[in-house]
Amino acid sequence: MERKPRAYSLIKTLFVLVALATAACHREVAMPPLPLRNITLTDKFFDVWPTSPTRAFVVGDRGKVLLTEDGGRNWKRIDIGTQLGVFGIQMTDAENGYLCGQDGLVMRTRDGGKTWKRLDSRTHLFIFSLSFPDANHGFLVGDRALVLSTTNGGETFTKRQLQKLFPPEIADYALPYDEPVLYSTRFVDVDHGWVVGELGRIWATENAGKSWQEQQQMLVPQYKYPLGPNDDPRFKDFLLPTFFSVSFRDQKHGAACGLEGWVIQTDDGGKNWRFAHQADKPGGPPDTLVPGAPHIPARDPLFSIDLFGSDQGITTGLTGTVLRLQPNGAWAHDTSVPAIPFPLSQVRFFDAQHGWIVGYGTILYTEDGGKTWRFCQG
């Protein structure tokens, strides 16, 4: 008869111990949640646009838009109401700005970036770049040779394609060269602008996009790429490396960069382009490599380029590559930028002293013209 009370007592004791342990566990996990970080290693930042020496917008994957007012020490996330990737952003003044991205995404702000409204771009193609010389006039480029333009701040868009029309007798053979992707555009004013993209295409306009002219022809004889057994000599001028980014300091001086790590430059608005040489170190002599020739050392692709100040320039690329324009005209690895083994998508300077570099999990800021860079956290 004693077994029942003893068994009941044992069960009761175990129940009390479990209850105490459960209560203890509850006390342990009742901790405040960790703050949500605005910048993580998994972020993919594609563009940055500074609006003052210390204020800048950064955009990236999954609809992420960040704003800093203090040189990157603190960040605020802006909800734009979409999870689509944002590839480009530009503020035309303190209140007006635009962004673009996946699935034909084009958005506009009229209140300094606090709120964003999606516009009817009339396309679902990826839009990779945009350039607005003022609040009303803008150009956007993307997949399948897409060019969008607006003259009324995005209320309506005109859509066209920038691609070469081949003679009927070779049109069927030219299918691999149809509808090249356009990756970057830059307008220095309403009339003068450039577009670069796949297959080394360069287009320019001097009349606000009413007509366009190809400009890459000067590069073809400079690019000593040997024809392969399957290369049709009729399309030799389509064997140039793809260009991902273009920048112009003014109507005359411009540069572009791209797939094979080459930088091209012009001093006459693109009538003549040339491949720029690189140096093994800052201040070193330019190399003597011939673009496109066999046995050229592999170079990282360059994703962005920015000409700033009166004579400065920086380009960024894969595996943290950063090249800087040297006084002798060559581009050399910039040793002042921290070594980062991640793609660096975009570089933009607000003025000769204040600039930004963004990439995968990375935001860098300088306030001394690039002599030193600070990692931004948030």
What confidence tens digit (pLDDT) does each residue in 230-270 have? 889 999 999 999 999 999 999 999 999 999 999 999 999 99
The string over 110-119, giving b where at least 16 C-beta atoms fall within 10 Å of a residue's C-beta and e elsewhere, is eebbeebebb
pLDDT greater than 60 at residue 27: no
Instruction: Please tell me the predicted confidence (pLDDT) of residue 354.
Output: 98
pLDDT of 143 strictly over 70: yes
**Of the candidate ranges 14-18, 165-169, 196-200, the one whose mean pLDDT is the lowest:** 14-18
Is pLDDT above 80 for 271? yes
How far is the C-alpha of 49 from the C-alpha of 56, rounded, in Å? 5
Q: Is the pLDDT of residue 168 over 90?
A: yes
Q: In the prediction, which pLDDT does 4 show?
A: 46
Contact 100/87 with Cβ under 8 angstroms? yes
pLDDT at 368 (0 to 100): 97
Question: Using CA atoms, how far apart are residues 163 and 202, in angstroms rounded to an integer?
Answer: 10
At which residue do the structure tokens 């605020």 appear? 76
311-332: per-residue pLDDT in tens? 999 999 999 999 999 999 999 9
What is the torsional sign of CA 91, 243, 290, 340? Answer: positive
**Residue 45 Cα distances to 48, 56, 85, 280, 334, angstroms:** 8, 13, 9, 29, 21
254 SS3 class: strand
Other Cβ atoms closer than 10 A to 159? 13
pLDDT at 20: 40
Pairing of strands 278-279, 331-333: parallel
pLDDT band at 295 (very low <50, low <70, confident <90, very high): confident
Which pLDDT value is given to residue 29?
54
Element holding 10 (H helix, E strand): helix 3-29
The residues near 32 (Cβ < 8 Å, ≥ 6 apart) are: none
Sort 25 into a burial class: Cβ within 10 Å, 0-12 / 13-18 / 19+: exposed
Phi-psi region of 190 (alpha: psi -120 to 50; beta: other; left: phi over 0): alpha
Helix (H) or strand (E) holding 91: strand 86-91
In this structure, are residues 301 and 259 in contact, taking their beta carbons and an 8 Å threshold?
yes
Q: Is the predicted pLDDT of residue 28 greater than 70, yes or no?
A: no
Average pLDDT value for residue range 199-203:
97
What is the rounded CA–CA span in Å between residue 210 and residue 35? Answer: 51
Domain over 38-375 is classified CATH 1.10.10.10: no
- Report the pLDDT value the prediction gives residue 37, as an integer from 0 to 100: 87
Cα 169 → chain centroid: 38
Q: Specify the DSSP class assigned to residue 11.
A: H
Q: How far apart are CA 334 and CA 127, in angstroms?
A: 30
Question: pLDDT by residue (tens digit) across 69-84?
Answer: 999 999 999 999 999 9
Question: Above 50 in pLDDT, residue 218?
Answer: yes
In this structure, which amino acid lies at residue 127?
A: I
Spatial CA neighbour of 218 closest among 181, 268, 258: 268
* pLDDT tops 90 at residue 15: no
Distance CA 363, CA 287 (A): 31
Question: How much is the average pLDDT of 332-361?
Answer: 97
Residue count (the chain) = 378
pLDDT grade for 5, boundaries at 50, 70 and 90: very low
Q: How far is CA 232 from CA 124, 163, 229, in A?
A: 33, 19, 8
pLDDT range class, residue 22, cuts 50, 70, 90? very low
Position 97 scores a pLDDT of 98
Q: Is the pLDDT reported for residue 52 higher than 70?
A: yes
**Looking at the predicted structure, is the pLDDT value of residue 13 above 50?**
no
Q: How far apart are CA 330 and CA 349, in angstroms?
A: 20
Task: Name the pLDDT band for 88 (thresholds 50, 70, 90).
Answer: very high
200-228: average pLDDT: 96
C-alpha span between 228 and 30 (Å, rounded): 67
